[in-house]
A and B are shown apart, each in its own frame.
Chain A
Amino acid sequence: MTASNNLTHEGAPTMAGATYNFAYLDEQTKRMIRRAILKAIAIPGYQVPFASREMPMPYGWGTGGVQVTASIIGPDDVLKVIDQGADDTTNAVSIRAFFQKVANVAVTTRTHEATIIQTRHRIPETPLKSGQVLVYQVPIPEPLRFLEPRETETRTMHALEEYGLMHVKLYEDIARHGYIAKTYAYPVKVEDRYVMDPSPIPKFDNPKMHMSEALQLFGAGREKRIYAIPPHTKVVSLDFEDHPFEVQKFSEPCAICGSRGIYLDEVILDDRGGHMFVCSDTDFCEEQRNEH
């Protein structure tokens, strides 16, 4: 999936040699990242350390996802980028424009047309198909980080499958609130082995990860970790038998397309508390409107 047509970065330094490779990263780096991705796919849910590079966007703004996308994208790919479910949020626009510039690839807002979908905080409502890759931007890849700050300790906990502490946290929630008060970045167990952070997607999206037909790749640039869920992999949200995992339910339909059973954004209409709920997934909303 590589091409080596050197593109000149518009507005780049005028000194000799200041040009960029296809999809920004040099081929050595892409090979290194692809090796990490292959290892991640081979051990679903395991965080593979990789030598994350500086990217032209800041850490915390999707550098992990961008590096993963840059390493797998080819000239024939069709790219979709979403942030908060929408194609037109600023960061999504910026990342899409980046790949148009450095890889000159086709882009789309249509979920079903895309071969690679890079996302921050959502999984599209339209079910993904075989052959598609969903690339998540991940801020904190370690699900145990808030229970144990030390990397040396958390790696040992994963190695020895010591996940009792994670359930202590869930137990405390139920004892205090009567239910598990975790609404996003809700931890999952992958293939009965590794506890994994699904990135800050709402827990509403967790079930979409389970047995997905698409390949799911997770990139954390600042924390230098890549992990993966291969297609048709078991992904279970942590819970108790008598307090099973549940997703958010919205009482109203989307005010624009009328859909139910999807994730909604609350839009404030005025300063007197007026609001309405609309689809978080803008492409899905548009498709629903076109159908009716």
Chain B
Amino acid sequence: MYVAVKGGEAAISNAHRLLADRRRGDRDVPDLRIDQIAEQLSVGVDRVMAEGSLYDKELAALAIKQARGDLIEAIFLVRAYRTTLPRFGYTQPIDTEDMLVERRVSATYKDLPGGQLLGPTFDYTHRLLDPELAHDKQVDKPVTREGEHEKVVRVSSILAQEGLIEADGEMPEGRVPGDITRDPMEFPMERDTRLQALARGDEGFLLALAYSTQRGYGMNHPFVGEVRIGEVELEFEVPEIDFAIPLGTVQVTECQMVNKFKGSAKVPPQFTRGYGLVFGQSERKAMAMALCDRALRAGELGEDRTAPAQDEEFVISHADNVQATGFVEHLKLPHYVDFQAELELVRKMRAEQAKAASDAFDLAAE
């Protein structure tokens, strides 16, 4: 009886066996293949890569399979694997102007150099369930444009030509970009490390905060300067040889938000910016990140910090879904030592109160 109240190794191993069974489901249904997930659930795979901070579609797909489709659990699996990998160094900054663009839209200009490219978007689809997808529906080949790869100028560069927007952020003298996976975070943060934290932050959390800025909690009057999705080349500089070696390409989504302008008697007004960049195809995340980045710059831009989205410690400390889910779910763990201590205290307090009440009664009865 005593042993029964404590958990045991057998219980754990049985629970894991049951989990494996439930993950596999009905054995008459074919086992899901990793390439099927990577190819047909690619947006979910992208989210796992982005918030898992590891660009590997195959591992992300495996994680989704193992996590039974629970994306936060999959992100967790990827992070726990990523953290064990040796670090060889850092690539050169990617050049998003040189992106092989698959989608690029701007809300600030009707047309612009490089054009508006809709690409593979859910925008403008009617959200009607398609019964034909229940079977293997025949899908037409996409139409593609022929032509040479050309640089597509960024909207921020167009505005910058007239000085209408603040320039690309400059790193303070002597500062090397931080690395939140290697160094402990400290508040207040520099923008480079803060952007890293936002890039791996939970999509839902950042989305809600971004939304709150639109509803008046830290309004920053945003326009989508542009959102672009495509492949960028990664280059790695090896100290022994004098040039950067191309490592391959990764797909990223970049959002440049153009925000309310700022100026004074001396400085002519200029639009300000918020920036978002994530692995894979995730416009929602990139846009939310850009809105949050701009909101968090309130102090730097001399604005009042009154809204949750403008509070760096609040936003950054709670944006990581692996941390958040762990701590919320840890409440399932046994706490009976502490509870026992509280139980004794409540009993003692109740006994004292009862005694006080009966003493008062005795006194009244005398």
Contacts and interface: CB of A to CB of B under 8 A. Distances in A.
Given A59-B327, A248-B344, A184 B5 contact: no
Contacts of A97: 9, 12
Nearest to B10: A93
A55 interface: yes
Q: Is the interface of A mostly helix, strand, loop or mixed?
A: loop
Interface stretch (B108-116, B177-185, B201-209, B252-260): B177-185
B325 to A, nearest CB: 7
Interface string B173-211: 000000001111111100000000000000000000000
Given A58-B76, A267-B2, A28 B329 contact: no
Contact of B187 (A85, A151, A201, A269): A151
Contacts of B313: 150-152
B337 A59 contact: no
Contact of B343 (A18, A86, A266): A266
Given A55-B80, A60-B327, A93 B333 contact: no
B344 to A, nearest CB: 6
A278 interface: yes
Interface stretch (A46-54, A126-134, A160-168, A231-239): A46-54
A280 B343 CA distance: 15
A267 B5 contact: yes
Contacts of B71: none
Interface stretch (B81-89, B135-143, B145-153, B242-250): B81-89
Contact of B341 (A60, A248, A282): A248
B344 A56 contact: no
Contacts of B325: 58-59
B327 A265 contact: no
Interface string A229-264: 000000000000000000010000000100000011
Contacts of B9: 88, 93, 97
A1 interface: no
Given A13-B62, A54-B76, A203-B341, A91 B333 contact: yes
A153 to B, nearest CB: 10
B338 A53 contact: no
A61 B333 contact: yes
A49 B344 CA distance: 36
Nearest to A140: B327
Contacts of B330: 58-61, 139
Contact of B338 (A88, A93, A121, A181): A121
B129 interface: no
**Most B CB within 10 A of own CB, among A18, A54, A61, A222:** A54
24 contacts: A25-B84, A26-B85, A28-B87, A51-B181, A51-B184, A54-B82, A56-B80, A59-B326, A83-B333, A88-B6, A88-B8, A93-B12, A151-B317, A178-B352, A183-B341, A183-B344, A183-B345, A200-B338, A202-B338, A202-B340, A248-B344, A264-B340, A269-B1, A282-B6
Given A49-B184, A121-B338, A256-B2, 15 more contacts: A13-B62, A24-B84, A25-B84, A51-B182, A58-B325, A60-B329, A84-B335, A84-B337, A89-B6, A121-B337, A181-B345, A184-B341, A184-B342, A265-B337, A265-B340
The 4 nearest A-B residue pairs measured at CB:
A59-B326, A60-B330, A58-B326, A183-B341
